[in-house]
A and B are shown apart, each in its own frame.
Chain A
Amino acid sequence: MEIKKPAVAGTLESSDCMVTVEPGQGQVDLDLDSAVIRQYGKQIRKVIRETLDRLDVSNAKVTVVDKGALDCTIKARVECAVYRSNDIKDNLPWGGVIK
């Protein structure tokens, strides 16, 4: 999937994360800021990379600010941000909430 335009998903509440995707410069650049980066930084990066791979995203700038989200939450937020950058809002429960 191509990242056509910047898109955001998630919040900065505790147990959540905010994911921003923007068009890349030929590869995936991942910028991670996490409240638990020392213990879980590696694991969080892995979840983000795997989710992007599954969506076939190979060219993007991805910024994640994590406030202690679980893997399932991180995965859902990354997916949502990618879909939004492609204007896919149908069949997403949060579609249209964030403009």
Chain B
Amino acid sequence: MPQTVDLQQVLEARERRAFRQQALLAECKTPLVSFSMNIAGPVKNTPLIRRGFRLGRRTLLEQMQLAGLSAVREEETDAATGCETLLAVRGKAEDIKKIACAIEENAPLGRLYDMDVIGTDGVKLERTEPRKCLICGRPARECARSRAHTVEELQETTRALLETALLEEDARTAARLAEKALLYEVCVTPKPGLVDRANNGSHRDMDIYTFMSSAAALFPYFAGCVRLGRKTADRPAPETFAALRWQGLQAECDMRRATGGVNTHKGAIYSMGLLCGALGRLCRERWADPAAVLSEIAAMVRGAVSRELDGVTSENAKTAGQRLYALYGVTGVRGEAEKGFPSVLEFGLPVLEAGLARGKTADEAGAAALLTLLLHTSDTNMLARGGTAGLKEAEAQVSAVLSACEYPPAEAVERLDQAFISRRLSPGGSADLLSLCWMLHFLKEEPA
């Protein structure tokens, strides 16, 4: 249960705040911004409120920086009476007040922000326009004084506002990183048989621009997957998976429209869409934990392999994945997803991150991760194009390159590229897994 506070605690917190303001003013001799959340009722601090506060603090710091105003000191408080930060800012109080008011008026959560600006004379700057009521839009102080709205009503509106704004923030963050992951994957050069910055690999119908068009078209899809994940977060995980199905089909239409009918990202629509759906189900703090994200995917997909592949024969197979299952018994990306992408967690991601940590370039670390993934999954794109013999031979070549050097030099990967091209091989399945590795890596780096 969240902690509740009484009137005396609230009044005490305000006096403490005023006292700290005067102390900081005396010490720094600059204008101050005192930022706290405007939350009605006895519960002033919950994980949701704290996230709203963090977002407001970031907006304030970034907007001030944009205007050339820099904070010279910051004192943060995180207590049952609420989250606060006190910033000593080099600049003119009037300029700071303009920014504070603009945030209060325009930011999605602005109505919940109290960003008071105090001049070097210790006097709080007044707003030109009175603040509006959260619920009815009338002057806020009149509604507060007359208790026009119940605490329950105010709490409900506040909670809905926070949830909506933070979901939007989460959806945009995830979609931006997912798109970045797709772009990083295609840009890793050289890669054997795949489209990269140097050549089109074993492909004739697509180049790097096709991938750019496709990745851009998928941004709304990834954001939509996060929203669906959040919407179904209280339901059993497979219901999220079921809800994503229609979005996935629509995303495939978007991709084909953007590429002139070429399949650039069908696998990524499946696996990255699942990942974004899983992010929607998880609270933001857990996004940086790859094992948590991947096991959420496994929970969502549970049973999907048998549902989709049981009874499939080479006669009734419709998709490439179903045909390969009928021929070789491989379960492809579905099987990987159902197990929570163990090849990503155990091989691809560690190789990628260890390489980057050792100062390898995105090309070097990315190629090494891709080759490692190729050895630890049965890449259905390779099977489809080269059969078992083609796959085995390619795996032997990759294995030889990797045992010579953990992070193979570009020349070695270029030789593999030529060998793959000559046999029209393309490890598209492994490339999708590499995108997941980039995504999980970006999620770890993204501040919560």
User: A residues engaging B (CB < 8 A)?
Assistant: 9-16, 35-36, 39-40, 67-68, 70, 72-73, 76-77, 80, 93-94, 97-98
Contacts and interface: CB of A to CB of B under 8 A. Distances in A.
Given A14-B131, A72-B7, A93-B9, A98 B142 contact: no
B346 interface: no
A23 B411 CA distance: 90
Interface stretch (B10-18, B45-53, B152-160): B10-18
A11 B15 contact: yes
Contact of B116 (A13, A68, A70, A76): A13
Given A72-B7, A97-B19, A98-B19, A16 B14 contact: yes
A10 B16 CA distance: 10
A14 B17 CA distance: 13
B98 interface: no
A98 B21 CA distance: 12
A80 B8 CA distance: 10
Contacts of B141: 14-15, 35-36, 67-68
Given A10-B11, A13-B114, 5 more contacts: A12-B18, A12-B124, A39-B146, A93-B8, A98-B18
B287 to A, nearest CB: 35
Shortest beta-carbon contacts, A-B, top 7: A68-B141, A11-B18, A94-B12, A93-B12, A93-B8, A11-B14, A94-B15
A98 B15 contact: yes
Contacts of A15: 141, 144
Interface of B: 7-9, 11-12, 14-19, 114, 116, 124, 131, 140-142, 144-147
Contact of A11 (B8, B17, B114): B17
A62 B362 CA distance: 70
A13 B17 CA distance: 10
Given A93-B8, A93-B9, A10 B15 contact: yes
A70 to B, nearest CB: 7
A98 B145 CA distance: 26
11 contacts: A10-B11, A12-B124, A13-B116, A15-B141, A36-B141, A39-B145, A73-B11, A76-B11, A77-B11, A93-B9, A98-B19
B103 to A, nearest CB: 16
Which of B7, B11, B12, B18 gathers the greatest number of chain A CB atoms within 10 Å? B11
B32 to A, nearest CB: 13
A14 B19 CA distance: 16
Contacts of A77: 11
Contacts of A72: 7
Given A14-B131, A36-B145, A76 B8 contact: yes
A40 B147 CA distance: 13
Contacts of B12: 93-94, 97
Contact of A39 (B16, B19, B116, B142): B142
A36 B146 CA distance: 11
Contact of B7 (A13, A36, A68, A73): A73
